[in-house]
Amino acid sequence: MRDDVVTPALATNAGLIHTIIREAFSGTDFGYQGEAELVRELVADGDELVSIIYWRNHQALGHLFFSRMNVEADGKLISAAGLGPVSVLPEYQGQGIGSGLIRMGIMILEEKGVDISFVLGHESYYPRFGYSPDLAARFASPFAGPHFMAMMLDSDAAWPLGGRADYAPAFGRMG
Ligand SMILES: CC(C)(COP(=O)(O)OP(=O)(O)OC[C@H]1O[C@@H](n2cnc3c(N)ncnc32)[C@H](O)[C@@H]1OP(=O)(O)O)[C@@H](O)C(=O)NCCC(=O)NCCS
């Protein structure tokens, strides 16, 4: 029988997370670009908001990370979470594990009362979770473009008219 669970990552899971991220990104067209080291730095800087692991029969198959962002909307600072990296071991991709992690991560952000989440990623994947390039386009960011998307975590909240969105400092130190 299959036993699938998602748990918060513990400090003792750091090695496991490193391996999942490295393997997941090594299997992409663009290759591994230090995403595991980035997560390590974000954690060391205290910029972790959500870090969760997907387990099947006690084997860790996927990981999702949200980092704290510095976001100003209509002149006020609001709480914001940047999605990524999200990683699934190559042989387990395409089975709904990444989607399961993202849906769970978004629920955790809602419970924490985070206002908005951003992602830089594929425009055919993230809109299914509620991310919109139109919302992100209202924010000035070095990542602005068709792959930059955002969602209000309270779906009843009005969209800000404009603002600025900055990822945590560790992103700026990426090579
Ligand atoms: C992206 C990733 C986390 C998705 O996890 P997954 O468990 O494979 O995804 P799911 O099974 O939940 O969803 C499958 C869907 O995602 C799409 N998908 C998977 N990887 C994708 C990618 N890199 N770009 C666009 N779409 C992607 C599939 O085409 C599929 O779409 P469909 O439902 O329309 O057929 C996983 O493929 C992965 O680890 N990739 C390598 C690392 C990476 O690129 N991470 C994202 C950037 S932060």
- Tens of pLDDT, residue by residue over 99-153, are 999 999 999 999 999 999 999 999 999 999 999 999 999 999 999 999 999 999 9
Ligand 1 pocket: which of 28, 55, 88 to mutate (most atoms within 8 A of CB) = 88
pLDDT band at 174 (very low <50, low <70, confident <90, very high): confident
Q: Which amino acid is at 63?
A: H
Q: How far apart are the C-alpha atoms of 121 and 147, rounded to whole Å? A: 5
Work out the number of other CB atoms within 10 angstroms of the CB of residue 23.
16
Residue length of the chain? 175
pTM tops 0.75: yes
pLDDT over 80 (residue 53)? yes
Tokens of 121: 């990623």
The CATH number linked to 15 is 3.40.630.30
Angle between helices 35-44 and 14-26 (to 10 degrees): 150
Residue 175: per-residue pLDDT: 63
Cβ–ligand 1 contact at 24 (below 6 Å):
yes
> Where in the sequence is the domain holding 162, given as residue range(s)?
4-172
Pairing state between β 139-140 and 163-166? parallel
Residue nearest to atom 4 of ligand 1 (CA): 98
pLDDT digits (tens, 9 = 90+) for 4-36: 999 999 999 999 999 999 999 999 999 999 999
Residue 173: per-residue pLDDT: 87
Domain count, the chain: 1
pLDDT digits (tens, 9 = 90+) for 76-91: 999 999 999 999 999 9
Q: In 26-138, where do the E strands start and end? A: 48-56, 59-73, 76-88, 116-120
Cβ–ligand 1 contact at 67 (below 6 Å):
no
In the reported structure, the alpha carbon of residue 33 is separated from the centroid of ligand 1 by a whole-number distance in angstroms of: 17
CB 36 within 8 A of CB 22: yes
